[in-house]
Amino acid sequence: MSDAHKHDSHGHDHDHDHSHSHAHESDSCCAPAQSGAPKASSSATACCGTSEAPVVQPVAQLGKQTTTGDGVRTPIRIMQMDCPTEEGLLRKKLGGMQGVTDMEFNLMQRVLTVTHAPKEIEPILAAVRSLGFTPEIANSASSQEESTPEPAKPWWPLALAGVAAIASEAVEWAGLPTWMAAALALVAVFACGITTYKKGWIAIRNGNLNINALMSIAVTGALVLGQWPEAAMVMVLFTIAELIEAKSLDRARNAIRGLMQLAPERATVLQADGTWQDVAAKSVAVDTRVRIKPGERIALDGKIVSGRSAVNQAPITGESLPVEKAEGDPVFAGTINESGSFEYTVTAAANDSTLARIIHAVEEAQGARAPTQRFVDQFARVYTPVVFAIALAVAILPPLLMGADWFTWVYKALVLLVIACPCALVISTPVTIVSGLAAAARQGILVKGGVYLEEGRKLKWLALDKTGTITHGKPAQTDFVVLSGMKEAELRSLAASLAGRSDHPVSKALTEAAKRDNVALRNVDAFEALPGRGTKGVIDGKLFYLGNHRLIHEQGRCSDELEARLSVLEEQGKTVILLADDREVHGMFAVADTVKDSSRQAIAELHDLGIKTVMLTGDNAHTAKAIAAQVGIDEARGDLLPEDKLKVIESKIGQGGAVGMVGDGINDAPALARADIGFAMGAAGTGTAIETADVALMDDDLRKLPRFVRLSRSTHALLVQNIVLALGIKAVFLVLTLTGAGTMWMAVFADVGASLLVVGNGLRLLRK
């Protein structure tokens, strides 16, 4: 009974193990559809603002419709939607519709994903249009179209408005007739404020008080009160400031687009007739042969087939030291070939490359709400109505009850309306988080959601897998000892034959050594992998076992003498496996793995950050202790089966504080999924790790862990700073207004100034 296909699955076919824990439905990364240009005549808007801002290209490719259990998920791009005010409008409108079961907003990418009953998409699009927005859905006809930027809106209305507002001010100051100031002010307000009024009207009609509504009311009120120059100034300032704000928001958005532009658009491809030709990278199929010159950026993922070089992989791994690459090594799109030239075969289409997956993951991550963001959104939902109510009271109560001057108090109420906009507060969180995510991605740390970026700072315990995480994961055979009457050559031949069938690192070490010494291999029947223990198989009609102490002990073939011999080797940090048949143990083999230099440094940095470390391994306890001591890990747990690793994680979670787990993502899936934050190592090579981990470290350098924690801490600090700033500025103006010192244009300045400040503050993360 030969089963050549059965393979010890330590290596690479465990995908099903984790697919259940983080099911992914969206496929927009792999979907060929690329949205066409935003053809709508409306342009992008700033947060809550008027639409004078130049249009930015959408970053994300718009995904296609997907069918899920409860309906159809349709991503809709709405270029006018990048502020919670628009989200509020849409939520209210669509939330009330039959057939809509779920909505996900990604304001940074301006994509709304609606889950709805099949065929219900048209009424939804109509509802979106009724709010004055232009919805776009992916459509295969336009998929190959290149996006072309929409022409920017003319600048002259704003300039005209500015001049008119200043003139109005001057006329009043010079004591010229009021009708002149009034006329100039009306010109200014209508030259630049029409959009604000339009949007404000739509919002009011839908029972929503967004800043457009508030500004419209405030400016109208000022006009009614005869505050001509002031009304004009407020509208102009508001428009200018919104423009600036839109620009700063685009910077955060572009941080991610910057990543995408790393891969060149063209590649030099071998043609059927043997010539080389420059073609668009998008059109290159898998298995095509591509040539790379020194200094050139690599356009597609692939595997080197000839030549060698040093490649700077910083765009993927964040590590700028070039990596030596030779035949058989993988190369990634977006990385830079430094010295030699080589040829490689393409392993993934352009929209499926590692870089594309990274970008997709970061974009998805932006859509997920971080805890602070949820809190802020909730706060904003009550804040605006409350301030609006106060404004009403201020306008009505003092004049009615105390006979105070109507003019003064209505004016104060109008100023309060301007203060009532929570924009600065609401926009600060996503900008900060997105900057944090982008900064992390640039360092080769792929964070799959704002939640993890916020949680990272709370880590108390970090559990690390041993093999391949702390160590290089490439052990080499160091010793072998015959324990029975068996011939040395026979022992090695039997062991190597079994080991050759497995791709477990320990087995591989034996195979390598056997190959080097030209040990003859034999045919193995009924081969079986015994997880956490070893392997077994039939050679020449006889059953043999090759496995660890646990295996031999469980079979009752262990002895004190054998244990003593094992301990000697294990205490040197070596892993020992034994060859036995069903009667006796014939010999033992020791292999030794080396720890990475970077691991030692990473552990020290983690300790400095106040994080405790524990090493989890299926290897024996002595070896575990020896390796842990080498890198300075606090606690070592050996002899663990995968479910035991899970239990250790659970017990640490029970102690309070967040618990992280670092592994290769292949054989630690349950523990990784259970931990508060699951980190997958070396994600660049294995496609699944990027999708399944909470945080994917693109290479296997553990120093990314302390880096991640520090980034998480600074993100949190900025979030708090921004909330305090935004609320503080509002509070100051509230007091100023109530005491009579605040004017309307000051409030506009404060509002937009605060937004600018928090956005700028959040963007600082990009420089980390």
Ligand X SMILES: Nc1ncnc2c1ncn2[C@@H]1O[C@H](COP(=O)(O)OP(=O)(O)OP(=O)(O)O)[C@@H](O)[C@H]1O
Residues annotated catalytic, as ranges:
465
Cβ neighbours for 672, distance < 8 A, ≥ 6 positions apart: 18, 661, 663, 665, 678, 679, 680, 692, 693
The smaller minimum CB distance to Cu ion, of residues 163 and 558, is found at 558
Residue nearest to Cu ion (CB): 558
Number of Cβ within 10 Å of residue 693's Cβ equals 29
Contact region for Cu ion (CB under 5 A) — 99-107, 173-181, 308-316, 557-565? 557-565
Cβ neighbours for 397, distance < 8 A, ≥ 6 positions apart: none
Quote the least distance from Cβ 549 to Cu ion, whole Å. 6
Rule CB under 6 A: say whether 529 interacts with ligand X.
yes
Cβ neighbours for 74, distance < 8 A, ≥ 6 positions apart: 65, 113, 114, 116, 121, 124, 137
Total residues contacting ligand X by CB under 6 A comes to 22
* Cα 425 to Cα 462: distance, rounded to the nearest angstrom: 33
Contact region for ligand X (CB under 6 A) — 198-206, 322-330, 443-451, 615-623? 615-623
Fill in the amino acid letter for 684. A
Rule CB under 5 A: say whether 557 interacts with Cu ion.
no
Contact region for ligand X (CB under 6 A) — 327-335, 363-371, 450-458, 614-622? 614-622
Helix, strand, coil abundance in the chain, percent, nearest 5? 50, 20, 35
The distance in angstroms from the start CA to the end CA of the chain is 60
Contact region for ligand X (CB under 6 A) — 24-32, 308-316, 404-412, 459-467? 459-467
The smaller minimum CB distance to ligand X, of residues 29 and 510, is found at 510
* Cα 566 to Cα 756: distance, rounded to the nearest angstrom: 66
Strands (E), 413-483: 445-447, 459-465, 476-482
Per-residue HEC secondary structure of 132-178 comes to CCCEEECCHHHCCCCCCCCCCCCCHHHHHHHHHHHHHHHHHHCCCCH
Rule CB under 6 A: say whether 619 interacts with ligand X.
yes
* Cα 469 to Cα 598: distance, rounded to the nearest angstrom: 11
Pick what 71 binds: ligand X, Cu ion, none; C-beta below 5 to 8 Å, kind-dependent.
Answer: none
The smaller minimum CB distance to ligand X, of residues 153 and 533, is found at 533
Contact region for Cu ion (CB under 5 A) — 85-93, 552-560, 742-750, 754-762? 552-560
Quote the least distance from Cβ 483 to ligand X, whole Å. 17
Residue nearest to ligand X (CB): 618
Number of Cβ within 10 Å of residue 278's Cβ equals 9
Rule CB under 5 A: say whether 757 interacts with Cu ion.
no
- Decide: 16 and 52 in contact? Cβ < 8 Å: no
Quote the least distance from Cβ 7 to ligand X, whole Å. 10
Pick what 73 binds: Cu ion, ligand X, none; C-beta below 5 to 8 Å, kind-dependent.
Answer: none
Instruction: Please report which helix (H) or strand (E) contains residue 307, including its range.
Output: strand 302-307
Among 50, 548, 613, 715, binds ligand X (CB under 6 A): 548
Binding mask 652-691 for ligand X (x = CB under 6 A): ---------------x------------------------
Quote the least distance from Cβ 649 to ligand X, whole Å. 13
DSSP 470: I
The smaller minimum CB distance to Cu ion, of residues 563 and 584, is found at 563
Pick what 553 binds: ligand X, Cu ion, none; C-beta below 5 to 8 Å, kind-dependent.
Answer: Cu ion
Contact region for ligand X (CB under 6 A) — 15-23, 325-333, 350-358, 501-509? 501-509
| Helices and strands, counts by H and E, the chain | 24, 27
Fill in the amino acid letter for 59. V
- Decide: 55 and 150 in contact? Cβ < 8 Å: yes
Rule CB under 6 A: say whether 507 interacts with ligand X.
yes
Quote the least distance from Cβ 548 to ligand X, whole Å. 4
Rule CB under 6 A: say whether 617 interacts with ligand X.
yes
CA-to-CA dists, residue 671 to 21, 451, 668, angstroms: 11, 19, 6
Quote the least distance from Cβ 767 to ligand X, whole Å. 37
The smaller minimum CB distance to ligand X, of residues 232 and 513, is found at 513
The smaller minimum CB distance to ligand X, of residues 88 and 618, is found at 618
Total residues contacting Cu ion by CB under 5 A comes to 3
Quote the least distance from Cβ 596 to ligand X, whole Å. 14
Rule CB under 6 A: say whether 466 interacts with ligand X.
yes
Instruction: Please report which helix (H) or strand (E) contains residue 636, including its range.
Output: strand 635-637
- With vertex at residue 323, the alpha carbon angle to CA 319 and CA 324, rounded to the nearest 5 degrees, is 175
The smaller minimum CB distance to ligand X, of residues 667 and 715, is found at 667
- Decide: 109 and 155 in contact? Cβ < 8 Å: no
Pick what 504 binds: Cu ion, ligand X, none; C-beta below 5 to 8 Å, kind-dependent.
Answer: ligand X
Fill in the amino acid letter for 682. G
Rule CB under 6 A: say whether 10 interacts with ligand X.
yes
Rule CB under 6 A: say whether 535 interacts with ligand X.
yes
* Cα 425 to Cα 376: distance, rounded to the nearest angstrom: 7
Pick what 506 binds: Cu ion, ligand X, none; C-beta below 5 to 8 Å, kind-dependent.
Answer: ligand X
* Cα 452 to Cα 432: distance, rounded to the nearest angstrom: 14
Quote the least distance from Cβ 467 to Cu ion, whole Å. 22
- With vertex at residue 28, the alpha carbon angle to CA 24 and CA 34, rounded to the nearest 5 degrees, is 180
Quote the tokens at residue 480.
């072998």
* CA nearest neighbour of 563 among 621, 625, 618: 621
Rule CB under 5 A: say whether 553 interacts with Cu ion.
yes
Rule CB under 6 A: say whether 506 interacts with ligand X.
yes
- Sign of the four-CA dihedral 172, 177, 182, 185: negative
Of 196-255, binders to ligand X (CB under 6 A) are none
- With vertex at residue 507, the alpha carbon angle to CA 501 and CA 511, rounded to the nearest 5 degrees, is 75
Pick what 692 binds: ligand X, Cu ion, none; C-beta below 5 to 8 Å, kind-dependent.
Answer: none
Pick what 532 binds: Cu ion, ligand X, none; C-beta below 5 to 8 Å, kind-dependent.
Answer: ligand X
Rule CB under 5 A: say whether 127 interacts with Cu ion.
no
Among 534, 678, 682, 706, binds ligand X (CB under 6 A): 534
Contact region for Cu ion (CB under 5 A) — 151-159, 369-377, 534-542, 556-564? 556-564
Quote the least distance from Cβ 574 to ligand X, whole Å. 10
* Cα 687 to Cα 731: distance, rounded to the nearest angstrom: 49
Contact region for ligand X (CB under 6 A) — 253-261, 321-329, 617-625, 746-754? 617-625
CA-to-CA dists, residue 31 to 61, 266, 357, angstroms: 9, 20, 12
Among 113, 309, 502, 511, binds ligand X (CB under 6 A): 502
Backbone angles phi, psi at 273, to 5 degrees: -85, 10
Site residues (CB under 6 A) for ligand X?
8, 10, 465-467, 502, 504, 506-507, 529, 532-535, 547-548, 575, 577, 617-619, 667
Site residues (CB under 5 A) for Cu ion?
553, 558, 563
